[in-house]
Amino acid sequence: MILSGESKLAGVVGWPVAHSRSPRLHGYWLKRYGVDGAYVPLPVKPAAFESALRLLAELGFRGVNVTVPLKAAALDACDRVDPTARRIGAVNTIVMKGGRLEGSNTDGFGFLENLRQGAPGWRPAAAPAVVLGAGGAARAVVAALLDAGAPQVRLLNRTAARAEALAGDLGGAVEVSDWAERAERLDGAGLLVNTTSLGMTGQPPLDLELSRLPAEALVTDIVYAPLDTALLAAARARGHPVVDGLGMLLHQARPGFEAWFGVAPEVTAELRAFVLSD
Ligand code: ATR
């Protein structure tokens, strides 16, 4: 990569940040579209977060992605935050313009775009969605499903209080059930989403009986390591359409790349293979 005095700069801020796949992903697009720019990992301790953002804006950075554990802090650090990020309670994308920091959250967009690309026949408004988990990822997923017209979101989490808090914050047609009822709540659903860490490499498996899930229901997992989780394999074996979680990561990156570098990038099979070959 050859840079110039005009190179457009962006990056990902987190602590730690070495695990982030974003530099590889954005680096692929920069090369693919021939952009004079760079996207770099920026390890920043939480205590230095706000001053680091101001300094990056001062240095001419076009913006940054924000990752754990700074997504909630980014809400306060920005000069302006869009309504979706405010509702979710987290910012993952910052655009820097004339020294101002504009925050948004593209995780829900990434989630929906991944399903639209991977399962074009799925209609969010056609049937209730079942969402397992109530962490940060679940907030973005539930908000996106409500905005897409889901008639009901059934939310189940091991810690019921967290699900209640999420439902209270987001409002709308969110119905909380006990974690123990997860198999029964699949009745009549059009979508099942795992946003818990269950099934991730090194974590316990997700224990869920799928027999009540209608045959045409779409199943997706935001876990992408492994790519083919036990949940997706079991759903596929029962004939359900399935979409893996890698696409959410790839699609959430699109709005930032376009805002910083001026090209609307595409998520392709080649990009998926490149990010996976890490
Ligand atoms: P993220 O922000 O990435 O969603 P998180 O806030 O750590 O991550 O949330 C992880 C989710 O996985 C939570 O819903 C968590 O349930 P709790 O709220 O009860 O902690 C869920 N989870 C993690 N381990 C679990 C387990 N062994 N059984 C059931 N749910 C689990």
| Ligand 1 atom with minimal separation from the 179 CA | 29
The secondary structure of residue 48, as a DSSP letter, is G
Q: Whose CA is nearest to atom 8 of ligand 1?
A: 135
Distance 214 CA to ligand 1 centre (A): 26
What 51-57 contacts at long range (C-beta under 8 Å, 24+ apart), as own/partner pairs, is: 52/13, 53/13, 53/77, 53/94, 53/101, 56/11, 56/13, 56/96, 57/96, 57/99, 57/100, 57/101
| Ligand 1 atom with minimal separation from the 136 CA | 2
Q: Whose CA is nearest to atom 21 of ligand 1?
A: 196
Please say if 71 is a catalytic residue.
yes
Q: Whose CA is nearest to atom 18 of ligand 1?
A: 159
pLDDT of residue 30: 98
Distance 203 CA to ligand 1 centre (A): 11
Which of 249, 1, 55 lies closest to 137, judged by CA? 249
pLDDT of residue 273: 96
**Phi and psi at residue 133, in whole multiples of 5°?**
110, 155
Is the Cβ–Cβ distance between 39 and 13 less than 8 Å? no
Distance 133 CA to ligand 1 centre (A): 6
What is the Cα–Cα distance from 43 to 15, expressed in whole angstroms? 5
Q: Which residues pair with 100 in a beta bridge?
A: 97
pLDDT of residue 60: 97
Maximum CA extent, the chain: 60
| Ligand 1 atom with minimal separation from the 195 CA | 4
The full DSSP string for 150-178 is -S-EEEEESSHHHHHHHHHHH-SSEEEEE
pLDDT of residue 278: 80
Which of 213, 214, 216, 158 lies closest to 183, judged by CA? 213
At 1, the pLDDT band (50, 70, 90 cuts) reads: confident
What is the Cα–Cα distance from 119 to 208, expressed in whole angstroms? 22
Distance 93 CA to ligand 1 centre (A): 23
pLDDT in tens, 223-252: 999 999 999 999 999 999 999 999 999 999
